[in-house]
Amino acid sequence: MKNFFLFALLFISSLIFAQEFPFPVSGELNQIELKIENISISDTKTVVTLSVVNQMESGAWYCADENIYLYSKESDKRYYITGKENIPTCPEKHEFKSVGEELRFKLIFPSIKYSGTRIDLIEDCNNSCFYFKDIILDNKLNSDIHLFDLALGQYQSGNKNLAAVNFERVIKEIPDNPTHVYGFAYSYLYKIAQESGNQKKADAWKSSFLNSSLPNKEYYLKNF
């Protein structure tokens, strides 16, 4: 009997446990004011948390169509929405009261636990429909992309020393499925060293890049 209850507890825990992907990066999207805050995937469901901030003085509203789905390219399968939280279904709508007001809501789908590391979120409707394509379900990649964006902003604002520190953090551990940020991080480290008058250090970064496991090196060499 004791073993039975232990098995039941482990089984229930496996259903409750979920993989969390906070602020996943999308390869392409069409509504910059709409953001994915989190994707939670358990054995029983997938929950996508989004937020939208009103930018209009008056007359702004938002709703979600009844035809929304997640699409996995790896399994070539669609997972249609099964529920919503805090968002009306069109043609009903949430009316914003002020500029800067944020609406946070959840879309619920079947579990996509074994559907790969890239998905699309598609609102299939006729007017002002949103989409997010190539959403990355890999926290390491997402973290490095966000860090690269931070470093790039620092570089562009003239804070090159801090940018170099963060570019180095990006390339500290290159995963097996790297995105574009790793090659570009090397190229910016090369540029920063060169712009500071340290050609020896710049050459060392270029050599490190050439000896790395990154693919498509010819493409990134154009930026050195």
The answer regarding whether domain 140-221 maps to CATH 1.25.40 reads yes
pLDDT at 18: 86
pLDDT in tens, 54-95: 998 888 999 999 999 999 989 999 999 999 999 999 999 999
CB 25, CB 135: distance < 8 Å? yes
Spans in the chain with pLDDT lower than 50:
1-2, 4-15
Phi, psi of 86 (to 5 degrees): 65, 25
- Residues of the chain within CATH 1.25.40 domain(s) are 140-221
- Residues of the chain within CATH 2.60.40 domain(s) are 17-137
- CB neighbour list of residue 43: distance below 8 Å, 6 or more residues apart: 14, 15, 17, 111, 113
Mean pLDDT over the full length of the chain: 92
pLDDT at 8: 47
pLDDT at 16: 58
Strand partners, 84: 107
pLDDT at 199: 97
pLDDT at 9: 44
CB 174, CB 212: distance < 8 Å? yes
- Say how many CA atoms lie within 13 Å of 118 toward its Cβ: 10
User: Which class in CATH covers the domain with range 17-137?
Assistant: mainly beta
pLDDT at 180: 94
pTM of the model: 0.85
pLDDT at 13: 47
C-beta neighbour count of 191 within 10 angstroms:
19
